[in-house]
Amino acid sequence: MAGPPRRSHPDDSQAFVQLCLLTQNPLKRHPRGTYKVAGEGAAKGEVYLDDGHTFLYRDKREFCLRSFRMLAAHLRCRAAGEVGNYQCGAAVRSVDILGLRAEPSAVRVHAAGGAEGVSVEFEYDPEQRKLSIGNLELAVDDDWDIQIC
Protein backbone atom coordinates (compact mmCIF):
# COMPACT_ATOMS: atom_id res chain seq x y z
CA MET A 1 0.00 0.00 0.00
CA ALA A 2 1.43 3.32 -1.08
CA GLY A 3 1.70 6.17 1.39
CA PRO A 4 0.87 9.81 0.76
CA PRO A 5 2.76 11.53 -2.06
CA ARG A 6 6.15 12.84 -0.98
CA ARG A 7 6.37 16.63 -0.86
CA SER A 8 9.70 17.60 -2.38
CA HIS A 9 11.90 20.18 -0.78
CA PRO A 10 12.55 23.01 -3.27
CA ASP A 11 16.26 22.24 -3.48
CA ASP A 12 16.03 18.56 -4.50
CA SER A 13 15.08 19.20 -8.12
CA GLN A 14 16.92 20.05 -11.26
CA ALA A 15 16.34 23.73 -11.96
CA PHE A 16 17.43 26.85 -13.80
CA VAL A 17 17.96 30.14 -11.99
CA GLN A 18 17.61 33.36 -13.96
CA LEU A 19 18.45 36.76 -12.53
CA CYS A 20 17.25 39.97 -14.15
CA LEU A 21 19.74 42.76 -13.45
CA LEU A 22 19.13 46.41 -14.28
CA THR A 23 21.75 49.15 -14.27
CA GLN A 24 21.21 52.81 -13.45
CA ASN A 25 22.68 53.87 -16.81
CA PRO A 26 19.93 53.46 -19.44
CA LEU A 27 22.52 53.38 -22.25
CA LYS A 28 24.10 50.18 -20.97
CA ARG A 29 22.73 46.81 -21.86
CA HIS A 30 20.91 45.11 -19.03
CA PRO A 31 22.93 42.00 -18.24
CA ARG A 32 21.13 38.76 -17.54
CA GLY A 33 22.57 35.66 -15.99
CA THR A 34 21.15 32.18 -16.22
CA TYR A 35 22.66 29.46 -14.06
CA LYS A 36 21.82 25.78 -14.18
CA VAL A 37 21.12 24.09 -10.89
CA ALA A 38 22.18 20.45 -11.03
CA GLY A 39 20.30 17.58 -9.44
CA GLU A 40 22.32 18.02 -6.25
CA GLY A 41 20.70 21.44 -5.86
CA ALA A 42 23.88 23.47 -6.43
CA ALA A 43 24.78 26.09 -9.02
CA LYS A 44 27.12 29.02 -9.36
CA GLY A 45 27.84 31.82 -11.77
CA GLU A 46 29.41 35.25 -11.89
CA VAL A 47 28.46 38.69 -13.14
CA TYR A 48 31.13 41.19 -14.19
CA LEU A 49 30.33 44.89 -14.62
CA ASP A 50 32.47 47.95 -15.31
CA ASP A 51 31.96 51.35 -16.93
CA GLY A 52 32.11 49.77 -20.39
CA HIS A 53 34.38 52.31 -22.12
CA THR A 54 37.63 52.99 -20.20
CA PHE A 55 40.57 51.01 -18.92
CA LEU A 56 39.85 51.92 -15.28
CA TYR A 57 39.03 48.27 -14.63
CA ARG A 58 42.70 47.51 -15.28
CA ASP A 59 44.40 50.67 -14.01
CA LYS A 60 42.37 51.37 -10.86
CA ARG A 61 40.50 48.08 -10.37
CA GLU A 62 37.18 49.81 -11.02
CA PHE A 63 34.99 46.82 -11.71
CA CYS A 64 32.35 44.80 -9.93
CA LEU A 65 32.71 41.00 -9.95
CA ARG A 66 29.99 39.18 -8.03
CA SER A 67 29.37 35.51 -7.47
CA PHE A 68 25.89 33.99 -7.36
CA ARG A 69 25.52 30.54 -5.84
CA MET A 70 22.51 28.42 -5.10
CA LEU A 71 22.86 25.63 -2.58
CA ALA A 72 20.27 23.93 -0.38
CA ALA A 73 17.45 26.37 -1.24
CA HIS A 74 19.63 29.47 -0.67
CA LEU A 75 20.65 31.86 -3.45
CA ARG A 76 23.67 33.89 -2.33
CA CYS A 77 25.26 37.02 -3.78
CA ARG A 78 28.85 37.60 -2.66
CA ALA A 79 32.04 39.22 -3.92
CA ALA A 80 33.93 36.90 -6.25
CA GLY A 81 37.66 36.20 -5.85
CA GLU A 82 38.95 39.57 -6.98
CA VAL A 83 37.26 42.49 -5.32
CA GLY A 84 37.02 45.62 -7.44
CA ASN A 85 36.01 49.04 -6.21
CA TYR A 86 33.42 49.99 -8.84
CA GLN A 87 29.94 50.85 -7.56
CA CYS A 88 28.04 49.38 -10.48
CA GLY A 89 24.57 50.61 -9.51
CA ALA A 90 23.00 47.39 -10.80
CA ALA A 91 20.16 45.72 -8.95
CA VAL A 92 18.54 42.31 -9.10
CA ARG A 93 14.90 43.03 -9.89
CA SER A 94 13.60 39.48 -10.21
CA VAL A 95 14.61 35.86 -9.84
CA ASP A 96 13.02 32.92 -11.67
CA ILE A 97 13.75 29.34 -10.68
CA LEU A 98 12.49 26.60 -12.98
CA GLY A 99 12.11 22.97 -12.00
CA LEU A 100 10.92 23.18 -8.40
CA ARG A 101 8.82 20.14 -7.61
CA ALA A 102 6.73 21.78 -4.92
CA GLU A 103 5.53 25.22 -3.95
CA PRO A 104 7.59 26.74 -1.15
CA SER A 105 5.82 27.89 1.97
CA ALA A 106 7.79 31.16 2.09
CA VAL A 107 10.63 33.09 0.46
CA ARG A 108 12.82 35.36 2.59
CA VAL A 109 15.54 37.88 1.72
CA HIS A 110 18.43 38.34 4.15
CA ALA A 111 20.55 41.48 3.72
CA ALA A 112 24.26 41.53 4.55
CA GLY A 113 24.75 41.46 8.29
CA GLY A 114 21.02 41.18 8.96
CA ALA A 115 20.00 38.38 11.29
CA GLU A 116 16.33 38.45 10.33
CA GLY A 117 15.12 38.08 6.82
CA VAL A 118 12.22 39.83 5.15
CA SER A 119 9.42 37.79 3.59
CA VAL A 120 8.81 38.60 -0.06
CA GLU A 121 5.92 37.79 -2.34
CA PHE A 122 6.34 35.07 -4.94
CA GLU A 123 4.34 33.15 -7.50
CA TYR A 124 4.57 29.43 -8.16
CA ASP A 125 3.32 27.81 -11.37
CA PRO A 126 2.91 24.05 -10.74
CA GLU A 127 2.55 23.22 -14.45
CA GLN A 128 5.88 24.84 -15.33
CA ARG A 129 7.37 24.12 -11.90
CA LYS A 130 8.44 27.76 -11.87
CA LEU A 131 9.06 30.01 -8.87
CA SER A 132 9.01 33.74 -9.70
CA ILE A 133 10.21 36.30 -7.19
CA GLY A 134 9.66 39.87 -8.34
CA ASN A 135 9.61 43.42 -7.02
CA LEU A 136 13.14 43.04 -5.68
CA GLU A 137 15.67 45.83 -5.39
CA LEU A 138 18.79 43.92 -4.32
CA ALA A 139 22.01 45.80 -5.03
CA VAL A 140 24.55 43.66 -6.84
CA ASP A 141 27.29 45.45 -4.85
CA ASP A 142 25.91 44.12 -1.55
CA ASP A 143 25.96 40.66 0.02
CA TRP A 144 22.50 39.09 0.37
CA ASP A 145 20.71 35.73 0.44
CA ILE A 146 17.35 34.54 -0.78
CA GLN A 147 16.05 31.60 1.23
CA ILE A 148 13.38 29.30 -0.20
CA CYS A 149 11.44 27.65 2.62
Is 0.85 topped by the overall pTM?
no
Q: What value does the mean pLDDT take over residues 8-28?
A: 55
CA distance readout (Å), 131 to 51, 71, 98, 126, 128: 32, 16, 6, 9, 9
pLDDT digits (tens, 9 = 90+) for 29-74: 445 555 454 445 667 778 888 888 899 989 999 988 888 888 778 8
pLDDT given for residue 39 in this prediction: 47
